[in-house]
Structure 1
Amino acid sequence: MARLTIDLPPTVLFRTSVDITIADINYGQHMGHDAALRLAHEARVRWLKSLDYSELNIEGFGIIVSDAAVMYKSEVFHGDTLSFELGLTDHNRYGFDIVYTASNTRTQQETLRIKTGVVFFDYQQRKVAPAPMAFTARLAAHEKGNAP
């Protein structure tokens, strides 16, 4: 069977750490698959907040997740802390992919690699919208290391 691969982005734009709580643990006594996307969501919200945006307001538009992929690299247990790094790939007219890598701060091992495709969304018109030019310019500056 072909295995999923998620390529790393060229630039890390944001880093954050997330503690693993009992709610993230399944009957196998390790982190459940449902927690992976929830933790990626937390990292995404923190990144946007660091830019003074939210998922519902990026230059007047929201974003929605259009697809997601998860690669599990090693187990994660209750009490562990994951260090997330976030970067972007596959920019297009309507959005981009966010690639997250998570490493366990205790073991120093990569534990997860996640990709979420996001598109801009006009919630008033209920349809996909083009990426706001001001946001695109800001991302370009961040990716080049020239961000304020």
Structure 2
Amino acid sequence: MARIDIELPEKFIYSTSVYIRKNDVTEGIHVAFDTMWNLVREAHHNFLVDVGFTLTDINGTGLVFTNGLIVYQSEVSAGDTLLYEIALDNFTEKSCEYFFKISQKDSKKPVAKVRITILFFDYKTKKACAVPKEFIELSKK
């Protein structure tokens, strides 16, 4: 099977920490695949709220995750605190990509790299729409 990798951007515009609870770990071993997606979603939510948006209102538009990829680099256990660094890149008229660099907060040991394509969406008309200029500006900070 071919090894897939994610090339991360150099510039990250936001970071947040997420504590790993006992319930996040599968049978006391490590964080499960589905849990890692939920933790990424939590970091994504923290980012939007901290910059003044919500999941369904980014200056009048919402967003949809159209695809995603996680490349794991090391295990995560209960009691760990992870640092999620977020970048925005590869903008098109109606979409862009989120990049997450996930590491152990204290040791800086790499945990995972994540790439998610997001499509901006008007939930009233049920159609894709342009990326809000305010969102594009975030990537330039």
TM-score interval w.r.t. the shorter chain? Answer: over 0.9
Contact 2:31 2:76 in 1 (8 A): yes
Paired position in structure 2 for 1:49: 49
Aligned partner of 2:115 in structure 1 is 115
Identity %: 28
TM-align CA RMSD: 1.4
* CA positional deviation for 1:82: 0.3
- Where do residues 80-119 of structure 1 align in structure 2 (5 Å cutoff)? 80-119=80-119
**Contact 2:24–2:35 (8 Å) recurs in 1:** yes
Give the distance between the partners of 1:74 and 1:98, measured in 2 at CA.
21
Q: 1:123 & 1:64 partners in 2: Cα distance?
A: 10
Letter in 2 for 1:126: K
CA distance in 2, matches of 1:126, 1:49: 23
The CA deviation string for residues 30-84 of structure 1, in whole angstroms up to 9 with x for no partner, is: 1111111111111111111111001100010001100010011001100100011
Deviations 1:69-128 (A, max 9, x none): 001100110010001100012111111110101111244310011111101010001121
Moved over 6 A (4+): none
Q: Distance in 2 between matches of 1:89 and 1:141?
A: 10
Q: What is the letter of the counterpart of residue 79 of structure 1?
A: G
Q: Which runs of 5+ in 2 are unaligned?
A: none
